[in-house]
Amino acid sequence: MKPRRILLFTVLAVVAILGLLGFSATFLTNMWWFASLDLGSVFWTTYKAEYGLWLGAFFVFLLILLPNLRISLRSQGTLAVDPRFEALVQLLGKFLTLAVYGGAAVLAFLMAGAMSMNWMELLSFLHSQPFNAQDPLFGNDVGFYIFTLPFLNSLRTWLLFAVVLTMGATVLVYLVRQGVSFAFGRLSVSAQARKHIAILAGIFFALVAFGYWLGRYDVLYSTRSGSFYGAGYTDTMAQIPAAWIMMVVTLFAGLAIAQGLFVGAYKRIAKAFGGFVVAAVVVGALYPVLMQKFIVNPNEQSKELPYIRNNIAFTRQAYDIDRIEERSINPKNDLTASDIEADSATIRNIMLWDYRPLASTFDQLQVIRLYYDFPDIDIDRYHLPNGTYRQVMLSARELNQGKLPANAKTWVNLNLVYTHGYGLGMSPVNVVTEEGLPEFFLKDIPPQSNVGLEVTRPEIYYGEETGTPVVVKGNIDEFDYPLGDQNQMTKYKGESGVGIGSFFRRLMYAMHFGEWNLLISSYLADQSRILYVRNIQDRVQKIAPFLTYDRDPYLVVAEGCLFWMYDAYTSTNRYPYSKPVEGINYIRNSVKVVIDAYDGKTTFYLNNASVDPMIRTYAGIFPTLFRPQEEMPSALRAHVRYPQDLFDVQAAIYETYHMEDPQVFYNKEDLWNVANEKLQDQVQKMESYYAIMRLPGEATEEFIQMIPYTPNKRDNMIAWLCARSDREHYGKMLVFKFPKQDLTYGPMQVAARIDQDPVISSQLTLWNQQGSSVTRGNLLVIPIREEVIYVQPVYLQATSGKLPELKRVIVAHGNRISMETTLEDALARVFGRTEAPAATAAQPAATTKAGPVSGPQEVRQLARSAMDRYTRAMKYLKDGNWTKYGEEFDQLKKDLERLVDQSAK
C-alpha cells in the first residue's frame, strides 16, 4: 500500500475514533447525570424515542430513495448528448454509483435528523389523553388538535420533502445516464424516465392533496376577522369548501400530470398544472376574500355572532378563566379608624418595600463580600414562631465567580474551592428602622434571625447564577464563608453529582467539558464528585424541555434548608378558537418543581393534574418523573403560591373575555384594561403583586395576588382581580366589580392628585434639589372591606450613593390624602385615631406602633411640620424664590392655626 494511502487511512481512523469518543462522552455524561437524579428512565425514554425515530426515518428514507435510484441507474441512455457536456457526462459516469449511494446516505442522515426533532410529538401522539371537549365545527375532541394533528402535519411535511428529494436525485441520475437530455437546447426524456417521474409526481400531488385535507382544520385558528379569533362565517362557508375542492382538483391534476408524463403529452401536463394554479388562486384564495368583503363585512355582527360565542367559550376554557367568581362591591367612601384597626393583619403586611430599591439595599447591606450577589428579590409569606403571619421579601446570596479578583481566577479556585453561595437575606415588607432601612428577619453570615427562623444548611450549590461545573470531595477544602480576616473552609457532605473516581470517567468528563485538568489534577480523589448543570433554569429545561417555566423561581426556607420553588406549565398554541397570547393559547400550572439548593435533588410534583389532559399525557410518557402533589412535604406546601406569569396572562385575557355576551363582546362595550400607573415619570401597566389581606366577606387574612382594572381609555377603577394561594382556597380566582355608575378613583387619578398636592409636591421637589433623588414606589391598591385605599412608599437616595432609604409613606382614600414619616401616621391623618396592634420582635414599637393621632402626638406632629415649613421658607427667602416662599408661608400659617386649635382642647 502506498504511503499516501496509509496516511489517509490513519487520519480517517483517528478522526473516526475521536468522533466516537466525543459522541460517547456526550452520551455517557448525560446518562450519568440523569442517573444521579434517579431519573434514568427519563433519559432512556427520551433517548429511545429520539434515536429510534432517527433510525426509523433513516431507513424509511432509504427505502423511498434507493429503489428509485437503482431503477434510474439501470437505465440505458438512448438520447443524444450535447457535445459541450459529453466529456462531463462520461467523467461523472465513472463515479456515478459511488456518488449516488454516498449522496443517498448523506440525505438520509439529514432527513433522519429533521424527523428526530419530532420525538415529543410522536410520544404525545402515542400517549394522548382526551380533553372530553369537542370543537363545534368538526366534532373532534380537542386532544386531536393538540396531540394528533401536529404529528400528522409533521409526518406529511417530511414525506413531501422525501418525495421531492427523491424526484430531484432521480432526475439528476437520468441526466447523467442520458435518460433526460438538454442536447442542443431541447429537453428530451426517455420513456422509462417519463414513467418513473410520473409515478413520483403522482405521489407528490397525493401528499399535496392530503395537505389540503389537513388544512381544513387550520380555520379553527383563523385571524380573518379582526374582532375575534377562530373559524368565522367565511371560514365555515367558503374556506372549508374551498379546501375540499382543492383536494379534489389536486388529485385530478396529479393524475393528469402523471398520465401526460406516461405518454409524453407535455401540453396536457401544462394545462393540468395551469388549472391547478388557477384553482388555487380563485378557489383557495380569491373566493373566501370576496365572500368576506361583500357578504360578511356589511353584515358582520349578524353573521359572526355564533362564531364569536365559540371564541369566547373556548378562550375562557383554555386559560382557565371560566372559573373566575364574580362579586359586586359597593364602596361608600366611609372608612373609619375602626375599619382600619379591624383589618390590622392587612395593614401589618402592606408592602412598603418595593423590590427595586430593596434590591439595592440588599446589595449594600448584606452582600458581605464583593464576590457575592443577590440575583433578584422574591416574595413569599411565613408563619413565624411567634404565631404571626408575615409577608416577606428574600433573596439568595449566590457566589459570582466573575467577581473574584483576577489573580484568584485559577482553575483550582474556580472548580474546586469557590463552589457555592451562602445564606440569604430576608426582610418583612413593611418594617422600617429609624434610619429608613429594612429590618431583617434573616441576615449575615452565618445566618442570624431575630424571629426564630433557622437555617442549618445555608450552602447554595444550585441557584439562579450558579452555572460552572465544580468538583467536590477532592483533596482540597472548599471555601465556605468569610470569617473576619480568615476564611471558613468545608467539605461537601452531600451525595449530589456524579462520581469521577475512575480514570475512564475523568476522561469522559475531560472530553465533554474540554478541560484536561480533570484528568491530570492531583486534587481529585477516588471519592470526588462533579456537580454540573447547576443553574436551576438549565436544570429543569434539561430534565423536561416539553414544559414551559415561569420567569421567576423563588427561594424557600423550610426545615432549616434552602429550596427553589419553580412553577412549570403545560402550554400549546393548538387549542381551537382560543385567542393566543405570547405565542400560546392554552396554559395550566400543572407542575411545581422543587430543587434542593444544597444537593440539587429536583422533584416534579403534579398540581391539579386531573383537570389537565396535557400533563396526564406527559405523565403517561414519563411515569417516574412526576410525583403526586400529596408527596410534597407540608413545610414546602405552605409556600406554594399562585404563579405570577400565569396570573398575568389570565389577567390580560380577562380584560376582554370577561364579556360573555357575544353582542357586547363584538361591540367592545365593556372592554377593560389593566390599570396604568406612573412610575419614575413614566406611565406603564401596573405589575400584579402579592399581598396578605382579608378579602371582602372573608373571616381571615390570606396570601393573594391581585391587579386592578380600569375601563378602556379611562382612568377610574372598575374592578380588581385576585388569585388565592393559601390552604383549601389555593387556585381560586375572584373578581370584585365596582358599580359602573359611581366613580372609584383609579391609580392614575390618585397619582395625579399626589402630584397636585402642594405639600407633597413641594417636599419632593425640595429633596430632589438637595443632592438627593426621590423614588416613588409602586402605588398599591389595598382593599379594606368593600373600599380601597392607596399606599405609596417614597424613597430618598443620595445622588452619589446606592442606599435608598424609605422616608415617607403616602396614603390616599377618596378625597383625603396624606404623606407622613410612617404608614401609621399617614393612616392616622387620613382616618383619625387608631390603636396599633401590639409590637412584636418582628414589629418594633419604635418604628411601627401607631399610637394616638390627636392630643399630644398631634401637637408634636404639627410643631415639627411648622418648624420644617419655617426652615424651607427661610431657604426660599434666601434664594430669592418668592413663589415657593409664599407657598410655605401659607402652609406654615395653617399649621399654626391647627396648633392653636389643638392646644385649646
Q: What is the pLDDT of residue 891?
A: 78
pLDDT in tens, 821-869: 999 999 999 998 644 443 333 333 333 333 333 455 566 667 767 777 7
Task: Band the pLDDT of 183: cuts 50, 70, 90.
Answer: low
pLDDT in tens, 780-827: 999 998 899 999 999 998 877 778 899 999 999 988 999 999 999 999
pLDDT in tens, 645-687: 999 999 999 999 999 999 999 999 999 999 999 887 789 999 9
In the predicted structure, residue 905 carries a pLDDT above the cut 60? no
Q: Which of 409-413, 717-721, 760-764 has the lowest mean pLDDT?
A: 760-764
Rounded Cα–Cα distance for residues 773 and 866 (Å): 24
Amino acid type, 747 = P
CA 42 distance to own-chain centroid? 23
Torsion angle defined by CA atoms of residues 352, 355, 359 and 362, in that order, rounded to the nearest 10 degrees = 40
Cis ω on the peptide bond leading into residue 469 (within 30° of 0)? no
| Nearest alpha carbon to residue 894 among 716, 759, 801, 770 | 759
CA distances from 880 to 758, 883, 891 (A): 19, 9, 18
In the numeric block, the cell 372530553 is attached to 132
| Nearest alpha carbon to residue 655 among 639, 671, 669 | 671
| Nearest alpha carbon to residue 536 among 560, 511, 509, 555 | 555
Half-sphere exposure of 513 (CA within 13 A, CB side): 20
pLDDT in tens, 51-60: 999 999 999 9
Q: What is the pLDDT of residue 880?
A: 60
Show the cell assigned to 566: 419553580
Q: What is the pLDDT of residue 849?
A: 34
Q: Partners of 330 in the beta sheet?
A: none
Mean pLDDT of the chain: 89
Average pLDDT over residues 480-491: 91
> Quick one: 405 exposed, middle or buried, by C-beta within 10 A (0-12, 13-18, 19+)?
exposed
Rounded Cα–Cα distance for residues 463 and 447 (Å): 18
Q: How many CB atoms lie within 10 A of CB 55?
A: 12
User: Quick one: residue 133, left, alpha or beta (phi over 0 = left, psi -120 to 50 = alpha)?
Assistant: beta
Q: Collapse the DSSP code of 675 into the 3-class scheme (helix H, G, I; strand E, B; otherwise coil) and give the result.
A: coil
Average pLDDT over residues 890-900: 73
Contact 751, 656 (CB under 8 A): no
For 813, residues 6+ apart whose C-beta sits below 8 A from its C-beta are: 333, 335, 787, 788, 789, 790, 830, 831
Q: How many CB atoms lie within 10 A of CB 689?
A: 17
Q: Collapse the DSSP code of 348 into the 3-class scheme (helix H, G, I; strand E, B; otherwise coil) and give the result.
A: helix
Give the whole-number percent of the chain exceeding pLDDT 90.
70
Contact 372, 421 (CB under 8 A): yes
Average pLDDT over residues 41-53: 96
Contact 441, 842 (CB under 8 A): yes
CA distances from 677 to 125, 649, 713 (A): 46, 19, 14
CA 634 distance to own-chain centroid? 27
Show the cell assigned to 896: 399654626
Q: What is the pTM of this model?
A: 0.87
For residues 752 and 333, which has the higher predicted lDDT (pLDDT)? 752
Any idea what DSSP says for residue 535? B
pLDDT in tens, 551-593: 999 999 999 999 999 999 999 999 999 999 999 999 999 999 9
Q: Which of 520-524, 761-765, 825-829 has the lowest mean pLDDT?
A: 761-765
CA 693 distance to own-chain centroid? 27
Q: What is the pLDDT of residue 329?
A: 92
